[in-house]
């Protein structure tokens, strides 16, 4: 994981006074989290399993989209190589606000077992991450739990004003 | 790049002194012991210089001069029925002999035999491309260039294949550190954010085994999570995992275990 501080949304998770308007907006946001299809390695298989009928992401309103412009959450599932690092940044920039990132698996969290010259040691060196899922690979249940925690996080935020854009730098 | 250091027998050193240590060798046999190979070698020898030839693990290895490589492979392909180039690459001998061994692994489906053509090239010398003979050599030669920096003359597209085009250094050289040199470790930061960002993003943390349980910025103790940045005393209360707020959520029904039906017969 990166050493630098990430500028997360202010007061994320703290009890803030939410108006009914916030609640309605957050209800909409948190229950239609469209995820960007971003399987980079073996973790991608678990992500696909989570989307398929047995674990069924659709129940949570999470549908995989093939375009960053239509998605709210980027599930980085797998090993990020240095060659690919500029593209993940580009795709992240193409997503519309508000946007969230789940880093799935050891590889995306820290580089994992790929302690080599060609692997980025944690995606948070490139993009700000909201949720880290441990495991190699995390089971689909873990990913579902992660998405539920993300929904909880979204519900805790004020929605009436535009969310402060997250920036790594 | 790091200075070249001899590490040929790093693991053997604690047990043997150099004086007694002999590198293990796979047994070599005379080419005469196999008649198919003996005939093939005769044909090669009649046209080209053969520096050395032997049979190892039921395969014939032939050392040739580097300038002959295209014509030797042509001969093998067109006359001796070795119609496939199953693999080719190089081996780093910079430390001992200041050069590379380039090998071509040939397969004949008709004869059911494999032949390995080898040649030694000095550091910095280019080889002749065999891409015109074997399409498979196209990517193999690019990989050889990518990993060792050996160029192939007359190759149609002599660029890196695995590493990015703007990469510096050749990763399969024995002098290349596994965790990357200076360029490699800052590659993504320099490329995306620029060199100024190095200080802010910080160096890569390569020791993934270090865990500081008092660091609540980057770690969370499972079951005892605290908000990010809290000072940890060591007596954090146990946190029960929950996926929904206690009071329930607006417009969403909370799961009630008592009201839900648990299916305990998997064969239902
Ligand atoms: S964390 Fe494990 S399962 Fe996931 S991409 Fe890395 S190696 Fe594969």
Instruction: Note the pLDDT tens digit of each residue in A39-54.
Output: 999 999 999 999 999 8
Q: Are strands B99-108 and B113-122 parallel, antiparallel or unpaired?
A: antiparallel
What pLDDT shows up at residue B51? 94
A111 in contact with ligand 1, CB cutoff 6 A: no
Q: What is the distance in angstroms between the Cα of A90 and the nearest Cα belonging to chain B?
A: 9
- Which is nearest to B60 in space by CA: B91, B82, B78, B75? B82
For residues B86 and A102, what is the distance between their CA atoms, to the nearest angstrom? 42
- Which is nearest to A28 in space by CA: B252, B242, B244, B255? B252
Res A161 pLDDT > 80: no
> Residue A98, preceding bond cis, omega within 30 degrees?
yes
Run of H or E including A88: helix A85-94
The pair of structure tokens assigned to B101 is 């061994």
Per-residue confidence band for A8, with pLDDT thresholds at 50, 70 and 90: very low
Q: What is the mean pLDDT of residues A110-122?
A: 91
What pLDDT shows up at residue A158? 76
Residue-averaged pLDDT of chain A: 84
Ligand 1 centroid from CA A125, angstroms: 18
Domains and CATH numbers, chain B: 21-153 (3.30.460.80)
Per-residue confidence band for A97, with pLDDT thresholds at 50, 70 and 90: confident
What pLDDT shows up at residue B108? 94
Burial class (CB in 10 A: 0-12, 13-18, 19+), B147: buried
Q: A59: Cβ–Cβ under 8 A, 6 or more apart, which residues?
A: none
Q: Under a CB-based contact definition with an 8 Å cutoff, are residues B56 and B28 in contact?
A: yes
Phi and psi dihedrals of A141, rounded to 5? -60, -40
For residues B95 and B76, what is the distance between their CA atoms, to the nearest angstrom? 32
Ligand 1 centroid from CA A121, angstroms: 13
**Interchain pair B192, A126: CB under 8 A:** yes
Interface of chain B toward chain A, CB-CB under 8 angstroms: 162-164, 171, 176-181, 184-185, 187-189, 191-193, 197, 200-206, 208, 217-218, 227-228, 241, 243-245, 249-252
Res A16 pLDDT > 90: no
Give me the helices (H) in chain B, please: 35-47, 69-78, 94-97, 136-148, 182-185, 187-192, 198-201
In the Cβ-directed half-sphere of B81, how many Cα atoms lie within 13 Å? 10
Task: Compute the count of residue pairs across chains A and B with CB atoms less than 8 Å apart.
Answer: 96
- pLDDT tens digits, one per residue of A43-86: 999 999 999 998 888 988 899 999 999 999 999 999 999 999 99
State the pTM of this model. Answer: 0.80
Q: Angle A42-51/A140-155 helices, nearest 10 degrees?
A: 70
For residues B244 and A146, what is the distance between their CA atoms, to the nearest angstrom? 12
Q: What is the mean pLDDT of residues A28-39?
A: 90
For residues B165 and B168, what is the distance between their CA atoms, to the nearest angstrom? 9
Report the atom number in ligand 1 closest to the C-alpha of A43.
Answer: 4
A137 in contact with ligand 1, CB cutoff 6 A: yes
Low-confidence ranges of chain B (pLDDT < 50): none
What pLDDT shows up at residue B226? 79
First to last CA, chain B: 65
Q: What are the strands, taking DSSP E only, across A32-126?
A: 35-36, 64-65, 73-77, 100-104
For residues B125 and B257, what is the distance between their CA atoms, to the nearest angstrom? 73
What pLDDT shows up at residue A86? 92
Q: Are strands B59-64 and A100-104 parallel, antiparallel or unpaired?
A: unpaired
For residues A10 and A8, what is the distance between their CA atoms, to the nearest angstrom? 6
Q: Under a CB-based contact definition with an 8 Å cutoff, are residues A18 and A161 in contact?
A: no
């Amino acid at each position: 994981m990166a050493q630098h501080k990430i500028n997360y949304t202010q007061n994320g998770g703290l009890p803030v006074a939410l108006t009914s308007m916030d609640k309605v907006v957050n209800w909409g946001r948190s229950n239609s989290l469209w995820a960007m299809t971003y399987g980079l390695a073996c973790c991608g298989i678990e992500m696909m399993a989570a989307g398929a009928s047995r674990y069924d992401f659709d129940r949570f309103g999470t549908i995989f989209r093939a375009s960053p412009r239509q998605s709210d959450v980027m599930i980085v599932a797998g090993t990020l190589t240095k060659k690919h690092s500029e593209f993940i940044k580009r795709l992240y920039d193409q997503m519309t606000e508000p946007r969230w990132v789940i880093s799935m698996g050891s590889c995306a969290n820290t580089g994992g077992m790929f302690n080599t010259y060609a692997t980025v040691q944690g995606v948070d060196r490139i993009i700000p991450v909201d949720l880290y899922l441990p495991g190699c690979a995390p089971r689909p249940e873990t990913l579902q739990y992660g998405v539920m925690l993300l929904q909880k996080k979204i519900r805790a935020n004020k929605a009436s004003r535009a969310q402060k854009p997250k920036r790594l730098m | 790049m790091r200075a070249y250091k001899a590490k040929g027998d790093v693991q053997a050193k604690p047990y043997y002194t150099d004086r007694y240590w002999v590198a293990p060798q796979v047994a070599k046999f005379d080419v005469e012991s196999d008649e198919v190979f003996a005939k093939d070698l005769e044909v090669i020898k009649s046209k080209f210089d053969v520096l050395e030839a032997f049979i190892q693990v039921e395969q014939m290895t032939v050392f040739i001069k580097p300038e002959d490589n295209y014509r030797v492979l042509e001969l093998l392909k067109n006359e001796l029925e070795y119609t496939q180039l199953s693999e080719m690459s190089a081996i780093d001998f910079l430390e001992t002999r200041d050069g590379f061994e380039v090998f071509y692994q040939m397969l004949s489906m008709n004869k059911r035999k494999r032949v390995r053509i080898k040649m030694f090239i000095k550091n910095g010398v280019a080889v002749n491309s065999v891409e015109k003979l074997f399409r498979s050599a196209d990517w193999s030669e690019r990989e050889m260039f990518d990993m060792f920096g050996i160029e192939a003359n007359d190759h149609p597209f002599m660029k890196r294949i695995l590493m990015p085009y703007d990469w510096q250094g050749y990763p399969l050289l024995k002098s290349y550190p596994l965790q990357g040199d200076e360029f490699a470790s800052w590659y993504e930061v320099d490329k995306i954010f620029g060199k100024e960002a190095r200080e802010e993003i910080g160096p890569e943390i390569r020791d993934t085994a270090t865990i500081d349980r008092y660091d609540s910025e980057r770690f969370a103790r499972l079951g005892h999570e605290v908000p990010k940045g809290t000072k940890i005393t060591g007596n954090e209360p146990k946190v029960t995992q929950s996926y929904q707020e206690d009071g329930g959520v607006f417009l969403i029904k909370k799961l009630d275990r008592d009201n839900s039906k648990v299916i305990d017969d998997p064969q239902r």
